[in-house]
């Protein structure tokens, strides 16, 4: 596969918004991913398609306002070659096909969002993101990963059950758009021998199924 996982960057946010809107059209208020990137507790990853680029959406929304934005703005100008003397070069960025994020809340990593472009679902991208999220949670020294999911969202629940999440609660009327209930799900300790054995075996199966040629199937770069 020509897909890779890496930390989310500002220039990804327009595409991430697109994926968010097509995946969570009823969610209100929408997540502000620019703000999330500045949230010290939050960690987000994207899956990009190495073979495809798009016009750099961030070009439409350069950072503005505030002294703290100055360095970022200068960086933006350099990244977009405003100082190159060769005029504007085509502004392109990698095509993003999915994203996910956690809030690292001490012992707990809470999955805030996970979504894959409609056009790319059922190709293992969601699974790849969840593997990365569990690895990020472990790197953040979390002991468990938790999340909420709509009771009607069977595809997502199947993904979570596959990775060892179990229902630990029910939030009545949790979703404000239609008062749908939310399942609260959690892993067991992600450092326990049983979880790690299961996780390693799922990663190996994933690598075989999707033709990734090494056990460490999720390169982060
Ligand atoms: C949930 C979501 C991220 C899954 O992404 P995906 O790339 O399509 O999933 P994958 O192809 O990696 O599938 C991995 C596993 O998820 C489960 N799954 C995914 N889609 C499924 C579907 N339509 N029906 C049943 N199971 C499904 C399966 O267990 C699958 O494993 P399998 O292939 O061995 O059966 C995707 O459907 C999505 O973006 N949905 C909208 C956003 C959303 O609901 N996010 C969850 C919020 S809590």
Residue 81 domain flag:
no
pLDDT digits (tens, 9 = 90+) for 94-146: 999 999 999 999 999 999 999 999 999 999 999 999 999 999 999 999 999 99
Residue 191 domain flag:
yes
Overall number of domains in the chain: 1
Return d(Cα 125, Cα 46) in angstroms, integer: 10
CB 144 within 8 A of CB 110: no
Q: Which residues pair with 93 in a beta bridge?
A: 54
- Compute the distance from residue 124 Cα to the ligand 1 centre, in Å: 8
Q: Which ligand 1 atom is nearest residue 127's CA?
A: 12
Q: What is the pTM of this model?
A: 0.86
Residue 148 among the catalytic residues: yes
Interior/surface letters 147-181, b for 16+ CB within 10 angstroms, e for the rest: bbbbeebeebbebbeebbbeeeeeeeebbeeeebe
Residue 114 domain flag:
yes
Active-site hit among 33, 44, 160, 163: 160
Residue 160 among the catalytic residues: yes
Residue 194 domain flag:
yes
Residue 193 domain flag:
yes
CATH of the domain at 139: 3.40.630.30
Residue 35 domain flag:
yes
Helices 193-209 and 125-139, interaxial angle, to 10°?
150
Residue 67 domain flag:
no
Using pLDDT thresholds of 50, 70 and 90, give the confidence band for residue 63: very low
What is the residue range of 31's domain?
3-56+91-209
Q: Is 124's C-beta closer than 6 angstroms to any atom of ligand 1?
A: yes
Q: Is 122's C-beta closer than 6 angstroms to any atom of ligand 1?
A: yes
Active-site hit among 148, 174, 175, 215: 148
């Amino acid at each position: 596969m020509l897909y890779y996982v890496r930390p989310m960057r500002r220039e990804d946010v327009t595409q991430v918004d697109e994926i968010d809107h097509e995946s969570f059209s009823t969610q209100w208020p929408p997540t502000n991913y620019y703000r999330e990137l500045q949230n010290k507790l939050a960690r987000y990853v994207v899956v990009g398609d190495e073979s495809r680029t798009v016009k750099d959406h961030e070009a439409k929304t350069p950072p503005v306002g505030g002294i703290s934005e100055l360095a970022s703005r200068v960086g933006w100008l350099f990244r977009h070659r405003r100082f190159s003397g060769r005029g504007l070069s085509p502004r392109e960025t990698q095509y993003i096909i999915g994203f996910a994020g956690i809030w690292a809340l001490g012992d707990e990593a809470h999955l805030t969002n996970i979504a894959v472009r409609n056009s790319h679902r059922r190709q293992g991208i969601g699974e790849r993101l969840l593997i990365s999220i569990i690895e990020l949670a472990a790197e953040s020294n979390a002991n468990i990963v938790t999340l909420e999911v709509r009771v009607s969202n069977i595809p997502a629940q199947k993904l979570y059950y596959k990775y060892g999440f179990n229902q630990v609660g029910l939030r009545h009327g949790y979703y404000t758009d239609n008062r749908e209930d939310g399942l609260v799900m959690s892993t067991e300790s992600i450092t326990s021998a049983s979880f790690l054995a299961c996780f390693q075996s799922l990663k190996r199966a994933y690598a075989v199924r999707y033709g990734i040629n090494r056990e460490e199937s999720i390169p982060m770069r």
